[in-house]
Structure 1
Amino acid sequence: MQESLTTWPKFRGKTPRILLLTSQYFLIGELEAACVRLGVDHLLLDLGAKEMDLDEFVTVMEDAFSSFRPDFVLTVNHLGVDREGVLVSLLERYGLPLASWFVDNPHLILGVYADRYFDRTALFTWDLDTVDSLTAMGFAHVFHLPLGADPSRLVPHRETPVEPWRARVSFVGNSMLRKTLLRARAAGPSEPLFRAGMEAAAAFARSDDQLAGPFLAREYPEVHAGYAAFPEPERRLAFETFVTWQATLLYRLDCVSRLIPFEPLIVGDPGWQELLATVQGWRYHPELSYYDDLPDFYPLSEINFNCTSQQMKGAVNQRVFDVPCCNGFLLTDHRRQVEELFEPEREIVCYRNPDEIPALVERYLNDPAARKQVADAARKRVLAEHTYDHRMRALIEAVRETFG
């Protein structure tokens, strides 16, 4: 291929041209919709629909680069970026920057990538606490970009409420039971190492440490040495993820158990039926569709309860934006970064430890006016500052200033 066909001026237009690598991840739809509303030229390239061999992958990428001529490539959680470095080599050849927005713990993802394309990659992370650690890995361009909401997609679909969804208190979330076991299976530890990992996970859940790896190295050096000896990086990351997910399971189970006196409705995977098999006074509902069901579900709960994954001890999750966007009231665990996004007590109500949950639930169940006031204020803040249009504008500006 001639050199002139692999290089072209970048960032010359009023808005950039973005090649979106799609992979069926929920956030891609929000980013595409934001591009449309903002008038940003973009091309969706779906790499998740089928398996590709090397030659086909290279051909697909080169055709997209040459025909669309993007200013940069955007992905979520590095999806679409192969671990062998083929895409990175193509990006380098075409002089294309890569922007990757991490909405899950980047340290549980990036460790398996051999070529990290440091100089021409902009990393965006939903968790401010990971900015310094990503910079320490060698990435020169790291930005904090919180999650948000898409009010155009989070709209009700039903004229008549679904009565079984109505609840005084509800929780929507994964039990993490199956996810934990799958990561443990992928790591393949010995039985003693597995049991030690379970013990360490309980301690990690109680700690303020942000990342399981450094915590294990400091507090459980024998466990750390055991999985660090795995020859494959995939197995090492799987073990750290197993510890993180088990810590989340224990934390969520503790928090949700505090709701039992209020007869909560729990929506999620069947793991909840196993974890709460001997507990009376709660209702179970299978998982609901994010787009088709949850916008109708959230307003039917007097209190939507939230307890965040242990992969993000400082950041807030998607539900913090979605529930108020859907006109619902949210009670969530306090995270350090929440105060940069919402005003406590006026726009968001938080518990700082699980012991506070019952009193806060009882208080707000008995004060519908306060619930409405907080929900209305939170929705106003979301629409003013926390939509995916806001996030896309910030991302585009950062990429342009960095590589333009």
Structure 2
Amino acid sequence: MDALALRHRGRAPRLLLLTSAYFLLGELKAACQRLGVAHLLLDFASRSVDRDLFVNTIREAAARFKPDAIVTVNHLGVDHEGVLYALAGELKLPLVSWFVDNPEFILPLYPKPDPQNTLILTWDADSLDAVRGFGFTNVFWLPLGADPERFRPGREGRPEWRSRVSFVGNSMVRKTATRLEAAAPGPGLLAAFAGLARAFGRSGERSAEAFVAAARPDLAPELAALPLLRRVAYSTALVWHSTLEYRLGCVAQTLPFGPLIAGDSGWNQLLAGSTGHRLHKELNYYEELPGFYGASEVNFNCTSLQMKGAVNQRVFDVPAAGAFLLTDQRRQIERLFEPDTEIALYRGPEEIAGLVERFLADPEGRERLARAGRARVLAEHTYGHRLSALMAAIQQCFPGRVR
């Protein structure tokens, strides 16, 4: 079912939030505060917690706060031994996990779920069937959103952020290398890696493992023979390297316009020998990005290939900030925005230069799209909307649990 259609009714569930270093827990906490939803945030991110302390902390919070559900992001806080699954079942507290990264890289690493007591939300509608394949029955689509208080027009940026064109994103250089090292593949998989990643990026297949089986059946036994952690690492590395090549090809089309590229040091390596652009270190999501977007005439975006149909955070944050965005076409974007009316899209790298040139010459067109995009975000795509859908999913899947 499409979670966007859900709206909670009656008393809002009381939510026990398991925090981590991931940004989204902060957005959910802020949305709870704005909507007056009772919540308690448990912070396990900054310290190592043994099993007994973890269990006792959850038990004490459940007794004191009396939550209706436990909520986390990307299964962070869920242990690999199944302790939280068992504890949530014992306490009759549904466990809700919102995935905003590929669940197919995460869920295989955890024990068999308790499908009657678990709710999985995923930001990518294309991953719904894959999540069900891991044994979950309560599964909904819940895209990302924006915090309209943080990302809003008028946030002041630094003078050095002024640019005609900007791009914010990871180069994927280090991420690819780290995952490939963890995979420690055999000679066949290693030799084929770059070619497989390139071909995967051009394919319509979402699963890297399924792609290898179809494209190189001779290598499928070698991949299948890897232990689970190494097999997942190899699949992840393929996706990250395909994203690297895709992003580099897209960003290269903006180079004639002197873009400001904010990201990790890998861009120095990828753009060595290129001229005209400026490189900026990674930006802090909370403190810097809200002011950065408004300092660019054209905010350029190209999505990670872990999500071939879904959209990323910038698709919501840039228009929320009142700024103009040019992003790649993704199947799910048409369920969120009206193309060419509320958001500007390119359908392939060959369209990028022409569209950048067109919009740089059309400030009124940029303003019109940015204004319409912000209106759509405020009407349907804030984290308040997402929290409302999350609570409605809890009420639908666990009737009678909200006391």
TM-score, length-normalised on structure 1?
0.94
Mark the runs of 5 or more structure 2 residues left unpaired by the alignment.
Answer: 1-7
Q: Deviations over 1:354-389 (max 9, x none)?
A: 001011011101111000000000001100110000
- Matching residue within 198, 201, 208 for 1:205: 201
The answer to whether structure 1 residue 133 and structure 2 residue 130 are counterparts is yes
How far apart, in 1, do the equivalents of 2:87 and 2:19 lie? 18
Q: Does 1:250 align with 2:249?
A: no
Q: Does 1:17 pair with 2:9?
A: no
CA distance 1:12–1:85, change in 2 (3 Å): farther
Q: For 2:187 and 2:276, locate their aligned partners in 1 and report how far apart those are by CA, in whole Å.
A: 36
Helix, strand or coil at the partner of 1:221: coil
CA distance in 2, matches of 1:58, 1:309: 36
In the alignment, what sits opposite 2:265? 270
- 2:118–2:136 contact (8 Å) kept in structure 1: yes
**Does structure 2 conserve the Cα–Cα contact (< 8 Å) formed by 1:173 and 1:267?**
yes
SS at match of 1:178: helix
Shift of 1:327: 1.1
Map 1:173-184 to 2 at 5 A: 173-184=169-180
Cα displacement (A) at 1:29: 0.5
- CA shift at 1:59, angstroms? 1.6
Identify the residue that residue 58 of structure 1 maps to in structure 2: 55
Distance 1:150 1:319 in 2: 12
Structure 1 residues 41 and 158: alpha-carbon distance in aligned structure 2, compared to 1, 3 A threshold? closer
Q: Residue 83 of structure 1 contacts residue 115 of structure 1 at CA under 8 Å; is this kept in 2?
A: no
Among 191, 208, 211, which residue is 1:215 paired with?
A: 211
- The residue type equivalent to 2:140 in the other structure is F
Q: CA RMSD in A?
A: 1.6
Q: In structure 1, what is the Cα distance between the partners aligned to 2:307 and 2:325?
A: 18
Taking the TM superposition and a 5 Å limit, the aligned residue runs for 1:50-129 are 50-129=47-126
1:3-55 deviation line (CA, Å, top 9, x unaligned): xxxxxxxx997111111010121000100011111111111111221112222
Aligned partner of 1:62: which letter?
R
Unmatched tracts of structure 1, length 5 or more: 1-10
Structure 1 residue 66, shift from structure 2 partner:
1.9
Give, in angstroms, the shift of residue 156 of structure 1.
7.1
Q: Equivalents in 1 of 2:224, 2:237: separation in Å?
A: 14
Q: TM-score, normalised by structure 2?
A: 0.94
* 1:44 maps to amino acid: L
4+ long deviations beyond 3 Å: 155-159
Tell me which residue corresponds to 2:379: 384
Larger relative CO (CA 8 A, sep 6+): 1 or 2?
Answer: 2
1:397 matched to 2:397? The reply is no
Listed one character per residue, the Cα deviations across residues 167-196 of structure 1 (whole Å, up to 9, x for unaligned) are 111100000000110111111113442231
- How many angstroms apart in 2 are the aligned matches of 1:42 and 1:16? 9
Q: Is the 8 A contact 1:267 1:284 kept in 2?
A: yes
**How far apart, CA to CA, are the structure 2 residues paired with 1:26 and 1:177?**
22
- Kindly state the Cα deviation for residue 62 of structure 1 after the two structures are TM-superposed: 1.6
Task: Give the structure 2 partner of residue 196 of structure 1.
Answer: 192
Q: How does 1:191-340 map to 2 (within 5 A)?
A: 191-231=187-227, 233-340=228-335
